[in-house]
Amino acid sequence: MKYSRLTKEQFEELHQEFINFLATQSITADEWSNLKENKPELAEAELDVFSDLIWEGVLNKAEYLEHISPQHMYLFHLDENQMHAIVLNLKNDVDITTEEGYAWLRENLMDDNVEFLQADKEYTEDKNLDKFKMIEQGAVITKGDLYKYFDKLIN
């Protein structure tokens, strides 16, 4: 398995897609029940293959990632050939993961305690795995509103 197995909730959410996936493998509902009962290792393998297919589709479409921690905001634009990063570092004790802290940041963007950094990073040979590792570390896929806002602000 290249990525990670989908959660039970994700499988439930993608129930119809999983049925379609099994159909493309010529596996009927009865055969699936039989597989789970008599060949659990094969059923597990099918779950893993389906999970990887879903992750590939999601990662191929992902254009922006964000990872926000108490003193840092990492914003990424996932371009075709490289990642563009905008990083905000806070040099004080304000926690931007709280409502009050985020409000402080909005009002004090040009404060000396707010540092902006930018960087570009080439992907490794597996672009989607690079994106997945960032998600595993806490980044979330977004529409890029924060990235676009700060990109306009500092460029």
129 in the same domain as 95: yes
Give the helix/strand (H/E) hosting 126: none
pLDDT reported for residue 126: 94
In a domain, 3, yes or no: no
88-146 tens-digit pLDDT: 999 999 999 999 999 999 999 999 999 999 999 999 999 999 999 999 999 999 999 99
Q: What is the pTM of this model?
A: 0.86
Give the helix/strand (H/E) hosting 150: helix 145-154
Report the pLDDT averaged over residues 10-35.
Answer: 93
Residue 155 pLDDT greater than 90, yes or no: no
Structural domain of 37: 8-61
Share of the chain above pLDDT 90, in %: 96
68 in the same domain as 116: yes
143 in the same domain as 77: yes
117 in the same domain as 150: yes
In a domain, 78, yes or no: yes
Q: How many CA atoms lie within 13 A of 102 on its CB side?
A: 7
Q: Which residue has the tokens 């930018």?
A: 118
3-class secondary structure, 61: helix
Find the helix packing angle between 40-61 and 15-24, rounded to 10°. 110
pLDDT reported for residue 43: 93
